[in-house]
Amino acid sequence: MHTCDEELSLSTMMEGAAIERFDVALYEILENIKDLNTDAEAVREITLKVKIKPDKERNFITFGMQVMSKPAPLSAIFSKAFVEKDAIGKIECREIEGPRQMELPTNVTKINERKAND
Protein backbone atom coordinates (compact mmCIF):
# COMPACT_ATOMS: atom_id res chain seq x y z
CA MET A 1 0.00 0.00 0.00
CA HIS A 2 1.21 3.48 -0.83
CA THR A 3 1.92 6.09 1.76
CA CYS A 4 0.78 9.69 1.37
CA ASP A 5 4.27 10.89 0.44
CA GLU A 6 3.28 12.46 -2.88
CA GLU A 7 0.32 14.46 -4.11
CA LEU A 8 -2.21 12.53 -6.14
CA SER A 9 -2.06 13.40 -9.83
CA LEU A 10 -2.54 11.67 -13.12
CA SER A 11 1.15 10.76 -13.23
CA THR A 12 1.19 9.33 -9.68
CA MET A 13 -2.26 7.69 -9.72
CA MET A 14 -1.88 3.90 -9.44
CA GLU A 15 1.86 4.25 -9.96
CA GLY A 16 1.44 5.79 -13.42
CA ALA A 17 -1.00 3.20 -14.75
CA ALA A 18 -3.26 5.84 -16.30
CA ILE A 19 -0.45 7.21 -18.45
CA GLU A 20 0.79 3.73 -19.36
CA ARG A 21 -2.69 2.64 -20.46
CA PHE A 22 -3.19 5.87 -22.41
CA ASP A 23 0.11 5.23 -24.21
CA VAL A 24 -1.04 1.69 -25.13
CA ALA A 25 -4.34 3.06 -26.49
CA LEU A 26 -2.49 5.77 -28.44
CA TYR A 27 -0.22 3.16 -30.04
CA GLU A 28 -3.29 1.10 -31.06
CA ILE A 29 -4.87 4.20 -32.61
CA LEU A 30 -1.67 5.02 -34.51
CA GLU A 31 -1.55 1.44 -35.85
CA ASN A 32 -5.19 1.83 -36.90
CA ILE A 33 -4.35 5.06 -38.76
CA LYS A 34 -1.67 3.24 -40.78
CA ASP A 35 -4.03 0.32 -41.58
CA LEU A 36 -4.93 0.68 -45.27
CA ASN A 37 -8.21 -1.15 -44.62
CA THR A 38 -9.57 1.81 -42.61
CA ASP A 39 -10.80 5.24 -43.67
CA ALA A 40 -7.73 7.49 -43.59
CA GLU A 41 -9.69 10.56 -42.48
CA ALA A 42 -11.95 8.92 -39.87
CA VAL A 43 -11.77 10.43 -36.41
CA ARG A 44 -10.31 8.16 -33.75
CA GLU A 45 -10.90 8.66 -30.00
CA ILE A 46 -9.21 7.88 -26.72
CA THR A 47 -11.19 8.39 -23.51
CA LEU A 48 -9.65 8.37 -20.05
CA LYS A 49 -12.35 7.92 -17.43
CA VAL A 50 -11.61 8.35 -13.71
CA LYS A 51 -14.27 7.59 -11.10
CA ILE A 52 -13.79 8.99 -7.60
CA LYS A 53 -15.97 8.02 -4.62
CA PRO A 54 -15.45 9.69 -1.23
CA ASP A 55 -16.40 8.07 2.09
CA LYS A 56 -19.10 9.54 4.36
CA GLU A 57 -16.64 11.66 6.32
CA ARG A 58 -15.01 12.91 3.08
CA ASN A 59 -11.59 11.97 4.40
CA PHE A 60 -10.81 9.10 2.04
CA ILE A 61 -11.58 8.36 -1.57
CA THR A 62 -11.74 5.23 -3.65
CA PHE A 63 -10.90 5.75 -7.29
CA GLY A 64 -10.74 3.73 -10.46
CA MET A 65 -9.55 4.45 -13.95
CA GLN A 66 -10.39 3.14 -17.40
CA VAL A 67 -8.92 3.98 -20.81
CA MET A 68 -11.07 3.29 -23.86
CA SER A 69 -10.08 3.71 -27.48
CA LYS A 70 -12.30 3.95 -30.52
CA PRO A 71 -10.35 3.14 -33.68
CA ALA A 72 -11.82 3.53 -37.14
CA PRO A 73 -13.69 0.44 -38.28
CA LEU A 74 -12.46 -1.57 -41.24
CA SER A 75 -13.65 -0.06 -44.49
CA ALA A 76 -16.56 -1.72 -46.24
CA ILE A 77 -15.65 -3.64 -49.37
CA PHE A 78 -17.90 -4.29 -52.33
CA SER A 79 -17.99 -6.58 -55.33
CA LYS A 80 -20.29 -7.42 -58.23
CA ALA A 81 -21.91 -10.65 -59.26
CA PHE A 82 -23.60 -11.73 -62.47
CA VAL A 83 -27.06 -13.24 -61.98
CA GLU A 84 -28.83 -15.26 -64.67
CA LYS A 85 -31.21 -18.15 -65.22
CA ASP A 86 -29.92 -21.31 -66.87
CA ALA A 87 -31.76 -23.23 -69.61
CA ILE A 88 -34.18 -24.84 -67.13
CA GLY A 89 -34.84 -21.62 -65.17
CA LYS A 90 -32.50 -22.23 -62.22
CA ILE A 91 -30.90 -19.07 -60.84
CA GLU A 92 -27.10 -18.96 -61.04
CA CYS A 93 -24.90 -16.30 -59.52
CA ARG A 94 -21.16 -15.85 -60.06
CA GLU A 95 -18.98 -13.17 -58.54
CA ILE A 96 -17.12 -11.06 -61.08
CA GLU A 97 -13.42 -10.98 -60.23
CA GLY A 98 -12.37 -7.58 -58.94
CA PRO A 99 -9.00 -5.92 -59.57
CA ARG A 100 -7.90 -6.48 -55.94
CA GLN A 101 -8.70 -10.20 -55.87
CA MET A 102 -5.73 -12.44 -56.54
CA GLU A 103 -6.41 -15.54 -58.60
CA LEU A 104 -5.56 -18.72 -56.76
CA PRO A 105 -3.62 -21.38 -58.64
CA THR A 106 -5.81 -24.16 -60.01
CA ASN A 107 -3.08 -26.76 -59.63
CA VAL A 108 -2.69 -26.60 -55.84
CA THR A 109 -2.47 -30.41 -55.62
CA LYS A 110 0.45 -30.48 -58.08
CA ILE A 111 2.27 -27.71 -56.16
CA ASN A 112 1.83 -29.58 -52.87
CA GLU A 113 3.00 -32.85 -54.48
CA ARG A 114 6.15 -31.13 -55.79
CA LYS A 115 6.93 -29.73 -52.33
CA ALA A 116 6.53 -33.19 -50.78
CA ASN A 117 8.89 -34.73 -53.33
CA ASP A 118 11.61 -32.08 -52.86
pLDDT tens track for 40-93: 999 999 999 999 999 999 999 999 999 999 999 988 888 888 889 888 889 988
Show the domain range for 97.
Answer: 80-117
Is 3 among the domain residues? Answer: no
Calculated CA dihedral for residues 6, 8, 10, 16, nearest 10 degrees: 50
62 with 105, same domain: the answer is: no
- Cα(71)–Cα(42) distance, rounded to whole angstroms? 9
- The total number of structural domains that make up the chain: 2
Is 56 among the domain residues? Answer: yes
pLDDT band at 21 (very low <50, low <70, confident <90, very high): very high
- Cα(43)–Cα(68) distance, rounded to whole angstroms? 14
37 with 65, same domain: the answer is: yes
Is 75 among the domain residues? Answer: no
